[in-house]
């Protein structure tokens, strides 16, 4: 089996929106982080602060990404963030399909698919969020995940599939005080890889990283990643203190 590089990603959603604060946070983050090169890391800052955070992360172990992009690189898309702006400042990742976008901001599977294809075409890495909205039984869950993966990955070449990072982020566990339980996360991670094997060659699917997001903290990270089905975590609120983020990176480095 292919050894996959573990991941720690973090999204600030829209919680830290002042450039001043984003600058302070990212500067401190780089200071407290060890040169941990065994873990792939990236941050999705609040959209308006990307330009400020970019120079701080440049040449560091932490990559930069956008929480959303327009479905096309340029044109008549009032109010959208263009992938050209992200490339202009050296961003490498794009978060797609977060449940808030699907639910609150009308991101359809068709749009998510367009954005994903655009991201791959430009040589950036998509971090595709999928997951069920409410707790479901296994059979229903598999149907939901399969439908999302099928629609969101439509037209993706088998040579590109290993570039995609899948973030299992069930809406019912996002923004809560506790993460989903570890056995459920492991089962879901395995289910996602299993579904991918229905669409793509096994050896390519083995390279895909599947990570978990939803109320991840330094305390629960070890349990979450101590299973070959899960290749890392996507942090939210609980990563908002640089030391806590660094702790999570260490836990992932030690346990994956």
User: What's the DSSP call for residue 49?
Assistant: G
Of the candidate residues 41, 46, 188, 217, the single one contacting other proteins (CB under 8 A) = 46
Encoding tokens for residue 87?
């490339």
Element (H, E) at 212: strand 209-213
Structural contact between residues 96 and 61, judged by C-beta atoms closer than 8 angstroms: no
Backbone torsion region of residue 54, taken as left when φ is above 0, otherwise alpha when ψ lies between -120 and 50, otherwise beta:
alpha
Residue 248's alpha-carbon distances to 35, 222, 252, in angstroms, are 14, 8, 6
Residues in 166-195 that interact with other proteins by CB under 8 A: 174-175
Question: Which region, judged by CB under 8 A, interacts with other proteins, from 11-19, 30-38, 204-212, 223-231?
Answer: 11-19
Of the candidate residues 35, 78, 177, 202, the single one contacting other proteins (CB under 8 A) = 78
Q: How many residues bind other proteins (CB under 8 A)?
A: 45
Under the criterion CB under 8 A, does residue 92 sit at the interface with other proteins? no
Of the candidate residues 28, 82, 151, 227, the single one contacting other proteins (CB under 8 A) = 82
First to last CA, the chain: 14
3-state SS track over 133-178? CCCCCHHHHHHHHHHHHHHHCCCCCCCCHHHCEEEECCHHHCCCCC
Of the candidate residues 108, 159, 181, 203, the single one contacting other proteins (CB under 8 A) = 108
Least Cβ distance, residue 110 to other proteins (angstroms): 11
Of the candidate residues 1, 3, 35, 79, the single one contacting other proteins (CB under 8 A) = 79
Least Cβ distance, residue 153 to other proteins (angstroms): 20
Under the criterion CB under 8 A, does residue 100 sit at the interface with other proteins? yes
Structural contact between residues 212 and 168, judged by C-beta atoms closer than 8 angstroms: yes
Least Cβ distance, residue 129 to other proteins (angstroms): 9
Site residues, other proteins (CB under 8 A): 11, 13-15, 17-20, 46-52, 66-68, 70, 72-82, 84-86, 88-89, 95, 98, 100-101, 104-106, 108, 174-175
């Amino acid at each position: 089996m292919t050894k996959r590089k573990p991941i720690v990603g973090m999204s600030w959603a829209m919680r830290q929106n002042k450039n001043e604060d984003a600058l302070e946070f990212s500067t401190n983050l780089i200071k407290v982080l060890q040169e941990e090169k065994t873990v792939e890391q990236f941050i999705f800052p609040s959209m308006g602060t990307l330009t400020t955070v970019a120079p701080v992360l440049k040449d560091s172990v932490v990559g930069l990404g956008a929480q959303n992009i327009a479905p096309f690189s340029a044109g008549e898309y009032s109010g959208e963030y263009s992938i050209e702006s992200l490339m202009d400042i050296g961003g490498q990742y794009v978060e797609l399909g977060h449940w808030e976008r699907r639910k609150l901001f009308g991101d359809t599977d068709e749009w998510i698919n367009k954005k994903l294809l655009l991201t791959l075409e430009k040589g950036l890495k998509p971090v595709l969020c999928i997951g069920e909205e409410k707790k479901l039984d296994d059979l229903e869950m598999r149907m939901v995940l399969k439908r999302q993966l099928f629609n969101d990955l439509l037209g993706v070449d088998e040579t590109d599939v290993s570039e995609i990072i899948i973030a299992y982020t069930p809406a019912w566990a996002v923004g809560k005080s506790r993460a989903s339980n570890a056995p459920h996360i492991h089962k879901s991670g395995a289910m996602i890889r299993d579904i991918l094997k229905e669409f793509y060659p096994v050896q390519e699917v083995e390279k895909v990283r599947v990570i978990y997001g939803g109320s991840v903290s330094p305390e629960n990270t070890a349990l979450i990643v101590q299973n070959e089905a899960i290749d890392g975590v996507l942090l939210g609120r609980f990563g908002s203190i640089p030391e806590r983020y660094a702790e999570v990176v260490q836990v992932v480095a030690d346990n994956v």
